[in-house]
Amino acid sequence: MRARRRPRPLPAREQVLGRRAPGNGFLHRSPAGLKVAMLALFTALVLVAREPVVSAGGVVLVLLTALAAQVPLRMLLALLRRLWLLLVVLAALQLLLNDPLTGAEVLSRILATLLAAQLLILTTAPAELVAVLRVLLAPLRVLGLEPGRVALAALVMLRSIPFLADQFRMAGRQAAARGLERNLKARTLPLLLGAVEHARDTGRALSARGIDQV
């Protein structure tokens, strides 16, 4: 008898904010503004240098920082599991269009910046990040934009990513249940309608609570 194919595991739910690394290392304790500034500096450096040694060194630096700050590497690298397809496509494109060395440099550059950003998210409370965002957006007041409003919009956007991922999965299952696995419309239209409905419900709930900024 032929061995049965292994059942497909259920993917874990996506989560952008709100998943903090346990513990209280030095990164957990340092102020959010400083961490954001360091991240910006680090990213700028890696992007400007465009040197394989700098980029690869950046990846190593991020990993070492994580270890020193007692952040489990497993949580940091979970990012790769989410983005592997994108990274594979990028790698393939680079190999096709460029030489391997440039490809490795581009990939390590992307990895270094993404992992550094993930490290920030893992060690900072979302509320602190929002506070930093508000400070950064403060100059927009000149243009008549309320920083608190923009921050709320950003927060709602981040909040809806996992929701949309759920909806996408559900739309896929609903399509499959009707035998429409390969029908693009059946897989995307419910997602679109669900997104609009979710946006409307969120807006209503916020305005019922009288909240228009954070």
Partner 1 sequence: MTEHPEAITFRNVRVLAGQGQLLEIPHLDLTEQRISVIGPNGGGKSTLLQLVNGLVEPTEGRVSTEGLDTVEQGRQLRQCTGFVFSNPAAQLVMPTPLEDVELSLRRSVRDSAQRRRAALQTLAELGIADLAERSSQELSSGQQQLVALATVLTLRPRTLLLDEPTTLLDLANAARFTQLVRSMERKHRIRTITATHDLELAAAAERTLLVAGGKVVAEGEPQEVIAAYRRCSTG
Pull the structure tokens for residue 50: 């465009």
Tell me how far, at minimum, the Cβ of 172 lies from partner 1, in Å: 19
Nearest residue (CB) to partner 1, 60 versus 161 = 161
Give CA angle at 38 (34, 39), nearest 5°.
115
Comparing CA positions, the residue from 79, 71, 60, 57 lying closest to residue 25 is 71
Q: Report, in Å, the least distance between residue 155 CB and partner 1.
A: 6
Shortest Cβ distance from residue 36 to partner 1 (Å)? 17
Q: Which residues bind partner 1 (CB under 8 A)?
A: 13, 15, 17-19, 126-127, 152, 155-156, 159, 162-163, 198, 201-202, 204-211, 214
Nearer CB in complex with partner 1: 184/208:
208
**CB closer to partner 1 out of 129 and 175:** 129
- What number of CA atoms fall less than 13 Å from residue 115's CA on the CB side? 30
Cβ(46)–Cβ(113) under 8 Å?
Answer: yes
Measured from the Cβ of residue 190, the count of other Cβ atoms closer than 10 Å reads 17
Least CB distance from residue 146 to partner 1, whole Å?
Answer: 13
